[in-house]
Amino acid sequence: MPLSSSKSKVCFFFQNVKVSLTNRTQLKKNIQVIFKKEGKRLKSLNYIFCTDAALLEINRQFLDHDFYTDIITFDLSGSPEIEAEVYISIDRVRENARELQYSFKSELSRVIFHGALHLCGYGDKNKNDRQLMRIKEDFYLQYFPK
């Protein structure tokens, strides 16, 4: 169903997880700013927050990967306007935050922006791509007020 201009182009859904997303409206606006600054047109973007088990099943079923990950991004676009779904494992984000000694909120913001940046054309399959992705993540983490 097409989203009307009065509704946000970014939606959040939660599958068997509880997550406190403070200031959701501002976060949705920030995500839309990323697309604008990166020169991309966003039609609709759904973030689905789920468990490790759910994301592992998606990884197996759609990507033929048998390992845990924090994020999987599906670009569903059939036109120049981006339509996508981004699945994020809250379990993995919590674990990564603990291991990296970041706050959960900071790590979650990084992963949310990471998904948007994938849709803007940034990759993470090799060292150079990962380095550029990290630079972009850091830029947007600093760009938006906390």
Query: Hey, what domains does the chain have and what are their CATH numbers?
Result: 10-143 (3.40.390.30)
How many beta carbons lie within 10 A of that of residue 67, not counting itself? 8
DSSP per residue, 34-80: HHHHTT-EEEEEEEEEE-HHHHHHHHHHHH---S--SEEEEE--SSS
The conformation of residue 122, written as its DSSP 8-state character, comes to -
Is 2's pLDDT higher than 80? no
* Whole-structure pTM value: 0.92
Which residues does residue 82 pair with via DSSP β-bridges, in sequence order? 42
Answer whether 90's CB lies under 8 Å from 76's CB: no
**Bigger pLDDT: 142 or 22?**
142
Query: pLDDT at position 3, please?
Result: 41
* Average pLDDT over every residue of 124-137: 96
Please report the pLDDT score of residue 37 as a whole number.
Answer: 97
